[in-house]
Amino acid sequence: MKISDGIQQSFKNYIQSLGGKSIESYDKKGGFIAIGFDLNIHGQTVPLSVKYIDQKRWLSLPTVSVAQCNLPALDHVGNNGLICVTDHQGEMFDSADLFGLFKYAVDTAISILTNALESYSAGNRKALYEEIDGYNQTVVSDDPIVIATHNPNQSDSLYAWCINLTKQRNTPQCHHIKYLVDGASQHPPSSNPYTAIKVTKIILPRIENFVIPNLFTSFDEHWWEQQTLNFSTQQLDSLNKKSKFKIVLLEIPTPKMRTYLVISYYQDMASNKYRNFKIQTLQRGWREYLLNRTGMESQFSSKKPVVIAGCGSVGSRVAEILAESDVDKLILVDYDDMKTDNIMRHYLGIQDVNQSKVSALKNRLQQNIPELEVVVYKTNILNWLNSQNDEQLSEMHSIVLATGHPPTELEVCRRYILTRRMSKLYLVG
């Protein structure tokens, strides 16, 4: 069911009442309609476009965008011109009140643009600085995001794990960057097909040193040349000391947190031109950040390791849950290999059949959480306990018994709990 001509006309009449000029509507792909018009906002003419679906009920608000023009980066406006009206409305509205929703979207967009242009004229960029991470993502929205498995701010040695896409010898190198890891990490995401390349980290002292692209402009070679003008002599020297193919992590201090851009390019020394220039944003994937996102409070008073005895259907799930908590180290103990009979109940899958459970489980856990330290022992829990002295056992936070074998678990209790050699032991399964 399509929108009636009368409602369509009411949209245009409302825009005209606001002082809109050059009003025209046109159909867009996918059953959408757009109305374009010019509007005077804070003393300048701004081309706008309102897009909405051609239906009698709307399940989402119309989108309002600045059309292609010469404007600086503005608060609550993406680099592509999209104005963030939905951030100010919520999800509850009358889906049949088309005029009310249209009016709300347009009024909110005009209010956002008015405030943003006033702030820009006054030299106040605080609101933009607070959301610069989101703005940067709209600039490079078509490029894949680099995943950081370690906090770049806490590392002096960073490496990018890349896939080499260079097709011929003696041609400029081209790499697809997938992960950013700490150089001291013993747990890279994978060994193949990745190649490790050293990263140059450049920290801007103030966010004012960051060159923000205008609306509808991109992070390109010209932007990089402008940005390097704000680098110190030492930072410029660090760029020149590296190989022809460069990967740079640019750290930008914002009022709320640090945000990052990953810049990669091949520099032709003869012509001093850039080849295969690419900018990517960084997705935060380190444990501390992810745990903070959950609001989870620490369940452990210390950073001692947790031992999981038995890595079957129950023990593997316990390992998964603990890995997603704030446990830094797991010790996995199990003598058995993965079998097809285990698949339907186990955290592991058919690809892990005929591998030792502890080794396969370690690989799976560290694929998801590279910062997690996992130590494995392919033996039974009694043999492992016998190999540990009292001092080593005192370093354990607790033991989770998930062997599924009551005689073994009772013997562990008799030897190590009743004699007080271990203080915490949990029976599961």
Model pLDDT for residues 48-80, shown as the tens digit of each residue: 999 999 999 998 899 999 999 999 999 999 999
Residues paired with residue 197 on neighbouring β-strands, in sequence order: 160
Average pLDDT over residues 155-169: 76
Confidence of residue 122 (pLDDT cuts 50, 70, 90): very high
Residue pair 25/42 in contact by the 8 Å Cβ criterion:
no
Q: What is the distance between the alpha carbons of residues 117 and 43, in angstroms, rounded to a whole number?
A: 9
Nearest to 242 by CA among 227, 264, 220: 264
Quick: pLDDT tens for 330-384: 999 999 999 988 888 898 888 989 999 999 999 999 887 777 889 999 999 999 9
Rounded CA gap, 240 and 105, in Å? 49
Residues 6+ apart with CB under 8 A from 166: 172, 173, 174, 175
Residue range 219-278, pLDDT digits in tens: 999 999 999 999 999 999 888 875 678 899 999 998 888 999 999 988 776 667 888 888
Residues 6 or more apart in contact with residue 252 via CB below 8 angstroms? 132, 204, 207, 210, 258, 259, 260, 261
Regarding pTM above 0.85, the answer is: no
Helix (H) or strand (E) holding 196: strand 195-198
Closest CA to 360 of 315, 400, 303, 425: 315
Give 410's pLDDT tier (boundaries 50, 70, 90). Answer: confident
pLDDT value at 103 more than 90: yes
More confidently predicted of 168 and 196 = 196
Name the pLDDT band for 1 (thresholds 50, 70, 90): low
3-state secondary structure of 268: strand
User: ω into residue 193 within 30 of 0, thus cis?
Assistant: yes
Q: Each residue of 299-310: pLDDT tens digit?
A: 554 568 899 999
218 CB contacts (<8 Å, ≥6 apart)? 79, 139, 140, 279
pLDDT given at position 186:
47
Give the model's pLDDT for residue 144: 76
pLDDT at 92: 66
Helix, strand, coil tally for the chain in percent (to 5): 30, 25, 40
pLDDT score of 420: 59
Pairwise CA distance, residues 422 & 381, whole Å: 14
Which one has a higher pLDDT value, 392 or 97?
Answer: 97
Q: What is the pLDDT of residue 11?
A: 96
